[in-house]
Amino acid sequence: MIHKRVDYGSASKDKENIRSPKAQEFEPMILHALFSGIYLFYLNSTICLASESRSFMEA
């Protein structure tokens, strides 16, 4: 059972590794950084807008 799993794993890895393995390692990191940057920018803009509207309504 374990040996078969190892064989399937190596076969699937060979199919996946058409591109360079380093590019495969860094792609998720780049995507994660991109999405987290967009999310943080969105959060920051919403917080700024909320604080501005609150101060505007108080005045």
Put residue 46 in one of left, alpha, beta given phi > 0 → left and psi -120 to 50 → alpha.
Answer: alpha
pLDDT score, position 38:
92
pLDDT score, position 9:
52
- Overall average pLDDT of the 6-32 stretch: 64
How far is residue 24's CA from residue 22's CA, in Å, rounded to a whole number? 5
pLDDT value at 56 more than 70: no
% of the chain residues with pLDDT over 90:
14
- Overall average pLDDT of the 15-28 stretch: 66
